[in-house]
Structure 1
Amino acid sequence: MDIIITSCYDGFIRLLDVEKESFDLLYTSAYQVFSICRPHDNMNSLFIGESYGSVGSLDIRSSNPNSMSWDLHAEQIYTIDFNSQNTNLMATSSKDGTACIWDLRKLAHLHPQPLKLVRHKDAVNSAYFSPSGNLLATTSKDNNIGLISGANYEVESMIYHSNKTPRFISSFRGIWGWDDSFIMVGNMKKGVDVICVEEKKLAYTMADREINAIPCRFDAHPMLPGVLAISTAGGRVYVWDI
């Protein structure tokens, strides 16, 4: 099934079916939608992060999907991510200064308790599991990259990185590459900082004179190690073969 799902601050979630050449309204929220994500093992399920701190779940196959929801954060949820090795584990990041790991098998509708709670001193822009699922990386406006490890995610390390961006530039979000070795995140000097996980420090910075704006969001190609897509505040997308 060749589909693309889009969301927007207007609360509309739409589904583009490439084969049918149709672009239909899938779901309408009364609130702004800040994030969407599908579990790796269930492409028919969609999780939605809304402005007031809740996560909803719906079946995209339904003509009238009813969302189940849980109040997980005090403020809007910026990212949702699933562990590739155990999709019962879901990570969320929020404006309330926390990132959480949730076990969906134990997610109560009233007063749900996270498996792991990570506190930052400012909004958390993102929280992403590593490719192996053994690590979690958080990016916060408090100028730290959080690294969560251990058998039960009990070990926390903070790595300094300047994450503050001006008002009209998208927030930095550190992503994993093609293994658990490095985290890649943008900087205000129009470069890409590569953080070494083992040494817990900046390893090197990638830059190119063709990139003339601040790189904000990245995506590592899942099938081609070394191929990185970069979007900038200047409205351009670059594909970089590292």
Structure 2
Amino acid sequence: MGFLATVQKILSPSAKANSTMTPTGDDVPTMDAKRARVTSARTRNETPVKTEMAEGGVENVKEELEAAADDDDVGEDGLTAFEREREALIKRNKARMEALNISTLSADVGGRAKGPAPSSRGIGSKRRREAKEPVEPTRRSSRARKIAPELASGVAYERRDGSVVLADGATYRPDGSYAEPPVKTRPSGEVKLESENGSEKTDAAFVEELRTKMGAFVETKARGITASVREMVKNKLTLREEDVAKCVPKGVTHLDFSHDESMLLVASGDKEGHIGLWRVDKQAKENDEDDDDVVDDGVLYYKAHGNYISHCKWGHGALRGKLFTCAYDGAVRVLDPQTGSFAETLYSEEDEFSACDQFSHGNNALVCDNVGNLHQVDLRAGKFTAKSLSIHEKKINTVHIDPGNENRFATSTNQLVSVWDVRKLTKNAKAVHEIPHSKSSQAAYWCPDGSGALLTTCYDDALRVWNPDQDVNNPSALIRHNNQTGRWVLPFRAVWSAAGDGVLCGSMQRHVEIFNPKSGASVAKYSSPDHMTAIASRLACHRTLNYVAAGTASGRVHVYRADGR
């Protein structure tokens, strides 16, 4: 008899009935009870039988099962020989597992697989609003529909680089190549402060809080910069679980602290045009029993732009108390708490803004794009004040006006950092100073103390402090730093401390590092393996409080501050 046939015979109810006489008496189990025990034992021992087969081979198990099939008598213990043999197999397998300490080992493996859970505060813990219907229908270009474009009647305009934009948004370049029309996701006009993750109730409460506190801040005299690296080191900054929140859906590209101390507010922008506003000290408010609104834990985010946020800073002068943003969608916006909206200050159909900075009076700004052009903008009139100037051949990563001398500004681009004079921006303008780098320079920022020191970050694994008026060939400080962030992490951009007495940068070891800008020596390293589990590539320092905000590619913001708060 074959192995499978034997097993079928053993488990078959008809076979049982034919091979076993039904005894009389209350002490002998019925056939139904015997079947139930066999089925239960078979279910409990499915894995041990497989283990025994692997240990002793298929033939051994086959012989044992056949032997059990030949002896179906019920013993005094109420079990058949087959059932007794299965119970023995279970005991032997359990003994082997205990000898190998398998249960402990499996528990250890499970424990090691679990890492620190990311913070649940922020947009990940909220109910999203119902998806809004798209403003514009999805379009298919003439090329996709196999229709030749009518150039004579369908030309919209010609770009400065000689490419022609058709009426449907497609582009013909001077080299004859063709580009499909872009999918328009940019919000147009004024964008109300209607968050993507809150409710009407939480949005209204936040707008009112902004109007009250930011309005009072504008009317009072701003405090000077009081935060310093010396105080940071003295106070030993730490990171608590409640000081971590997911503020935007995608990677943080820019972030900044509001200057107002009455409301610890962090603004952050991400790679898809979202702006997150986080009231760090806001305590989560539980819902009422009959209230189905979401819990307000201080984090709300908005779809203010249609693409990568290239600038997100709280304003100065006329823009005090307002958030100034721009993005690759060609829009410049200002969040005004008094109107409760992101106003569209400027929009350019043909430009993708990659960098921006504003003058201290808040009336004008410099905006750069991803093909090397510089634009001068009047924020009051919402228009360019002069023709665009081509000052670089490739995308401009950063532009920064010297707070100590607003007649000059610095730009960083591919392998070059340049210093420009605002008063000499003519058609064939030339840089006052050029500082070559061996690889791409990701950032160039002037020191906030007005000393004229310039901090650069380069892919050649170095942070450098320059004094352009004295020497553009040799930096005054060289800081060796691993800047190879790879494909999935935004490039590091080292920043100054608020007082200009320190250089801060993220780390591939998930640290926030502080360096001495004169000697280049490491001053401090802050980390929290339990709460900051990703690499922070973008940082911001508070002007008056010894706080540091660190943004990661997961959209989370981490605020380091002293234990005493």
2:462 is equivalent to residue 144 of structure 1: yes
Structure 1 equivalent of residue 376 of structure 2: 57
Pick from 514, 519, 523 the counterpart of residue 199 of structure 1.
Answer: 519
Residues 198 and 4 (structure 1), Cα distance of their counterparts in 2 relative to 1, 3 Å cut: closer
Whole-angstrom distance in 1 between the partners of 2:501 and 2:473: 17
Whole-angstrom distance in 2 between the partners of 1:155 and 1:178: 27
Aligned residue identity for 1:85: G
SS of alignment partner, residue 409 of structure 2: strand
Whole-angstrom distance in 1 between the partners of 2:384 and 2:357: 17
Mean Cα deviation higher: 164-173 or 1-10: 1-10
Task: Give the deviation of 1:219 after TM superposition.
Answer: 1.0
SS of alignment partner, residue 77 of structure 1: coil
SS of alignment partner, residue 384 of structure 2: coil
Aligned residue identity for 1:126: A
2:394 is equivalent to residue 75 of structure 1: yes
Q: Deviations over 1:173-224 (max 9, x none)?
A: 0101133432111111111122222222333322123211111111111222
Mean Cα deviation higher: 117-126 or 145-154: 145-154
Pick from 404, 420, 427 the counterpart of residue 102 of structure 1.
Answer: 420
Whole-angstrom distance in 1 between the partners of 2:378 and 2:401: 17
Task: Tell me the TM-score normalised to structure 2 length.
Answer: 0.40
Task: Give the deviation of 1:67 after TM superposition.
Answer: 4.7
Mean Cα deviation higher: 48-57 or 99-108: 99-108
Residues 168 and 10 (structure 1), Cα distance of their counterparts in 2 relative to 1, 3 Å cut: farther
Whole-angstrom distance in 2 between the partners of 1:137 and 1:160: 13
2:559 is equivalent to residue 233 of structure 1: no
Whole-angstrom distance in 2 between the partners of 1:218 and 1:3: 20
Task: Give the deviation of 1:150 after TM superposition.
Answer: 6.1
Aligned residue identity for 1:106: K
2:333 is equivalent to residue 10 of structure 1: no
Structure 1 equivalent of residue 489 of structure 2: 169
2:435–2:472 contact (8 Å) kept in structure 1 = no
Whole-angstrom distance in 1 between the partners of 2:430 and 2:422: 10
Q: Deviations over 1:119-154 (max 9, x none)?
A: 111111100011223210000111111210264454
Whole-angstrom distance in 2 between the partners of 1:177 and 1:108: 34
1:215–1:232 contact (8 Å) kept in structure 2 = yes
SS of alignment partner, residue 105 of structure 1: helix
Aligned residue identity for 2:517: V
Whole-angstrom distance in 2 between the partners of 1:139 and 1:24: 33
2:534 is equivalent to residue 217 of structure 1: no
2:454–2:468 contact (8 Å) kept in structure 1 = no
Whole-angstrom distance in 1 between the partners of 2:432 and 2:471: 9
Task: Give the deviation of 1:236 after TM superposition.
Answer: 0.7
SS of alignment partner, residue 397 of structure 2: strand
What is the correspondence of 1:118-137 to structure 2 with a 5 Å cutoff?
A: 118-133=435-450, 134-137=452-455
Identity of aligned residues (%): 25
Structure 1 gaps, min length 5: none
Mean Cα deviation higher: 158-167 or 147-156: 147-156
Whole-angstrom distance in 2 between the partners of 1:129 and 1:229: 20
Pick from 322, 343, 347 the counterpart of residue 28 of structure 1.
Answer: 347
1:137–1:148 contact (8 Å) kept in structure 2 = yes
SS of alignment partner, residue 139 of structure 1: strand
SS of alignment partner, residue 156 of structure 1: coil
Counting strand residues as a fraction of each chain, which structure ranks higher?
Answer: 1
Whole-angstrom distance in 2 between the partners of 1:8 and 1:151: 32
Whole-angstrom distance in 1 between the partners of 2:540 and 2:410: 18
Residues 119 and 150 (structure 1), Cα distance of their counterparts in 2 relative to 1, 3 Å cut: closer
Counting helix residues as a fraction of each chain, which structure ranks higher?
Answer: 2
Mean Cα deviation higher: 19-28 or 226-235: 19-28
1:186–1:214 contact (8 Å) kept in structure 2 = yes
RMSD: 1.9
2:364–2:378 contact (8 Å) kept in structure 1 = yes
Aligned residue identity for 1:239: V
Task: Give the deviation of 1:231 after TM superposition.
Answer: 0.9
Aligned residue identity for 1:34: S
1:135–1:153 contact (8 Å) kept in structure 2 = no
Structure 2 gaps, min length 5: 1-318
Of the two, which has the highest radius of gyration? Answer: 2
Pick from 47, 51, 54 the counterpart of residue 366 of structure 2.
Answer: 47
* RCO higher in structure (CA 8 A, sep ≥6): 2
2:403–2:449 contact (8 Å) kept in structure 1 = yes
